[in-house]
Amino acid sequence: MLEVFNPPNLMQPFGAFSNAALAPAGRLLFISGQVATDPEGRIVGENDIAAQTRQALSNIDTLLRKAGAGFEDVVSVTVFLKDMQHLDAVHEVRREFFKPPYPASTLVQIVSLVDPRMLIEINAVAVVPVT
């Protein structure tokens, strides 16, 4: 379980994230940036940020499960977003996958991804429990 830090002398998180997250001992899992593609490489949810966010997080879920982890083991995410107007929708979908305590998070606005139809890319770091 993560121990999170949101001290009162820092701005409080406004979405599904924490200012800092301390993970227990375990093995580190680094997940490459995931986008809204299905197993055949087709884009899911063209022009739909909620659908694309959900697909990217579903892809992360697949990788977490393969490694013996879950979203509760994620300590950090980086989100690359084309349009900051989509931020509320992104956080709404994130709450479907992440429950408190939320991981640390970085958000970066970008001009484009590898395919211009892609709206979001998310990478993650998790601490896989030692069994």
- The answer to whether 77 and 123 are in contact (CB under 8 A) is yes
Q: Is beta strand 74-81 parallel, antiparallel or unpaired with respect to 27-34?
A: unpaired
Residue 18 has pLDDT above 90, yes or no: no
Per-residue 3-state assignment (H helix, E strand, C coil) for 63-94: HHHHCCCCHHHEEEEEEEECCHHHHHHHHHHH
Q: pLDDT tens digits, residue range 111-124?
A: 999 999 999 999 99
Beta carbons within 8 Å of 43's beta carbon, 6+ residues apart: 35, 36, 37, 52, 115, 117, 118
Q: pLDDT tens digits, residue range 57-116?
A: 999 999 999 999 999 999 999 999 999 999 999 999 999 999 999 999 999 999 999 999
| Fold type of domain 16-128 | 60s Ribosomal Protein L30; Chain: A; (3.30.1330)
Higher per-residue pLDDT: 59 or 7: 59
Q: pLDDT tens digits, residue range 19-53?
A: 888 777 878 989 999 999 999 999 999 999 999 99
> Domain spans of the chain?
16-128
